[in-house]
Structure 1
Amino acid sequence: MTDESIQSTDLTRRRVIAASGAGVVAVGIGGATAVGAAAESKGKKPSPGHRRPRPECVELSPEQVEGPYFLDYALFRKDITEDEAGVPLRLRIKVIDSVTCEPLRNAAVDVWHCNAIGLYSGYTAMGSGGGGGGTPPTGPPPTGTPTGPPPGGGGGHAAPTDDLTFLRGSQVTDHHGEVEFRTVYPGWYQGRAVHIHLKVVAEGQKTADGYEGGHQCHTGQFYFSEESALEIAALDPYKTNTTTRVTLDEDSIYPGTGLLGGLLPLHYRKGHIALGVRSSITVGVDPDAVNGGSGTPPQASATPSASAS
């Protein structure tokens, strides 16, 4: 564990502010312009008459389901690996207000994903069955109109089976609306393509006990290219995963819209992915919205924040 890790032994839930209405979110690729980044690094101000770059903005994107394996542990840390084996992954996430296009500061960003063999911490007894975990169904497939949640992780929350915390973590966005996580490239489990879960909680405050107050304004998932997944599947410990891997085209949750649907832009040496992977992505949210993680559009707060414009 790194020195920057702040772990809470008491697994209290966040105090969430209930609200209602309608809202939107967005996902896109991030990064400041080269000119803006250079000026900022040298502490220089734009010269008189110099036009300041327009704030970064991204297109709107639908919400995605939370899935059954979210645990609201106050694990504020950059490195979430906990000695889990796998290809190193550095993931930078920038969160912006999709209305003003300004960075969303002091928002809590949660990520969680399975390990190389498809297990989630907190749910290792469930194996890599996908959905709510457990043994895959047997017998003939159902007929008629389908009911209930979609397969592959769209169900309700599952009760934890252990106290493990690997590959889970939270961070609070900085002045630029950014956080960075150090983890490993995820594995896969039955019914799902390779993915990482994401949650953004806005307008709260980080305390010694976690992130208090605020409301969940975005729930999403990030995905990985088929090309990178094929390289990963040939490496240890991923190749010991005996579960059939679902491709992006086969996944029941991935919207098929590329970057707008959460497909990560990956940077690595082709043929040498074992050396590590880097990715940066921008997530646009409506900080006044309230989203329950059901995959439907979030609802707007009945009392918009004073900072909204």
Structure 2
Amino acid sequence: MKSETPQDLLPQVITRRGILRGIGLSLAAVPLGRLLIACGGSETDGVTGDPDAGTTDPGVWATGGTAAMTAATSYPDPFAAGIGTVCTLTCESTLGPCYATTVERKDISEGHDGLPVRLAFLIVDEACKPIPGATVDIWHAAPEGLYSGEDASDFCTSGDAVARAARWFRGVQTTDANGRADFDTCFPGWYSSRTIHIHFTVRVNGSEFVTSQLFFDDTLNDDIVNTQPLYNTRGARDTTNANDNVVSAESVGNYLFTTQRLADGAMLAAKTLVIRSSLANAQCAIPGGGGGGGGPPPGGDGGMGPPPGRDGGFGGPPPGFDAGVP
């Protein structure tokens, strides 16, 4: 199995304030997701349906980062149609070695350029009851495929000075009375041996209930990687949802965001996460994939996990997880 490193096929690193902000818009259409959310992931969690629902300029994604989200106050509620009455547990996956100090904030971009994305999460229990006051902690790679933070391993930042000085694409939000938490970010970049993904941990009263990963439909991934500014300068990605080493091709459909292009060209990506009603209840694990590459040797993170005590006050990485795959 090949070694996984964000440095493979690395492009020139941009500044976090977006030196490519003026590149302009790309005119490529893509099938997008209908906003039918099934609790815990199901066949409705795809990216099918009307690609231009809610848009005024079909086929155009925005660029320029979260500053381009000019209609953010009027974005639709992706959970308005309800979540049904059957809620399937969201299964756990590897923490990965790229967890680092997090920050409580909604906009996690720090001005980094990229395709703007509103991430909407609904946290419920197995009885489909919303969980208010839960914390949702997310982290993901920048468009150029690097994680941020001086306390992150060089394995994750490639030792890049800009990435180490930043803390972009990391953040925590607390769910409201309806169990919802939102983030504003940019579409993640890819790096060798992993499909495009977002990490998350959900905690209640400081206790970790689930740590896992979420994904995007491969048709959407390919459109953005192949045609959009910043993303289209790096060449073809080497790993897709079909051959990732963390999630199997058969189970990835349960962990896909539903997506929609909005009137200002931003993406709305939504997911319902179902957590255990009690830590005493058994947790499940995502069926793992068999391709992509293995990262560090089995049995540990090669010293690449986050330093102890650098958890930003949000509980740090959960115990008992393999930190070997970012």
Measured against the shorter chain, the TM-score band is 0.5 to 0.7
Q: CA deviation at 1:258?
A: 3.8
2:220 equivalent among 228, 232, 246: 228
TM-score (norm: length of structure 2) = 0.57
Is the contact between residue 66 and residue 293 of structure 1 (CA under 8 Å) also seen in structure 2? no
Residue 69 of structure 1 aligns with an amino acid whose one-letter code is C
Structure with greater strand percent: 1
- Does the alignment pair 1:122 with 2:149? yes
Q: CA deviation at 1:55?
A: 6.8
Question: Any gaps of 5 or more consecutive residues in structure 1?
Answer: 1-24, 35-53, 136-160, 205-213, 296-309
**Distance (whole Å) between structure 1 residues aligned to residue 105 and residue 137 of structure 2:** 10
- Does the alignment pair 1:264 with 2:238? no
**Bigger CA drift: 226-235 or 238-247?**
238-247
Q: CA RMSD in A?
A: 3.2
Is the contact between residue 89 and residue 183 of structure 1 (CA under 8 Å) also seen in structure 2? yes
Report the 3-state secondary structure (helix = DSSP H, G, I; strand = E; otherwise coil) of the residue aligned with 2:222: helix
- 2:304 alignment counterpart: none
Is the contact between residue 105 and residue 175 of structure 1 (CA under 8 Å) also seen in structure 2? yes
1:23-74 superposed Cα distances (whole Å, 9 cap, x missing partner)? xx9446572437xxxxxxxxxxxxxxxxxxx97442234211111111242x
Q: CA deviation at 1:113?
A: 0.5
Question: Any gaps of 5 or more consecutive residues in structure 2?
Answer: 1-38, 46-77, 281-317
1:60 equivalent among 76, 89, 92: 89
Distance 1:218 1:240, change over 3 A: same
Report the 3-state secondary structure (helix = DSSP H, G, I; strand = E; otherwise coil) of the residue aligned with 1:230: helix
- 1:193 alignment counterpart: 195
1:241-286 superposed Cα distances (whole Å, 9 cap, x missing partner)? 35744111111012332442x11111128xx9x9221121100001
Percent sequence identity over matched residues? 27
Residue 93 of structure 2 aligns with an amino acid whose one-letter code is Q
Distance 1:293 1:171, change over 3 A: farther
Is the contact between residue 217 and residue 287 of structure 1 (CA under 8 Å) also seen in structure 2? no
**Distance (whole Å) between structure 1 residues aligned to residue 279 and residue 146 of structure 2:** 32
- Does the alignment pair 1:106 with 2:133? yes
Q: CA deviation at 1:88?
A: 0.8
Distance 1:59 1:221, change over 3 A: same
1:276 equivalent among 266, 278, 287: 266
Q: State how 1:1-309 maps to structure 2 within 5 Å.
A: 26-27=40-41, 31-33=79-81, 56-73=85-102, 75-98=103-126, 100-122=127-149, 162-202=164-204, 204=205, 214-233=206-225, 234-242=227-235, 244-256=237-249, 257-260=251-254, 262-268=255-261, 275-289=265-279, 292=319, 294=321
Distance 1:82 1:245, change over 3 A: farther
Residue 192 of structure 1 aligns with an amino acid whose one-letter code is R
Give the number of the structure whose alpha-carbon radius of gyration is greater.
Answer: 1
Aligned length, in residue pairs: 209
Report the 3-state secondary structure (helix = DSSP H, G, I; strand = E; otherwise coil) of the residue aligned with 2:219: helix
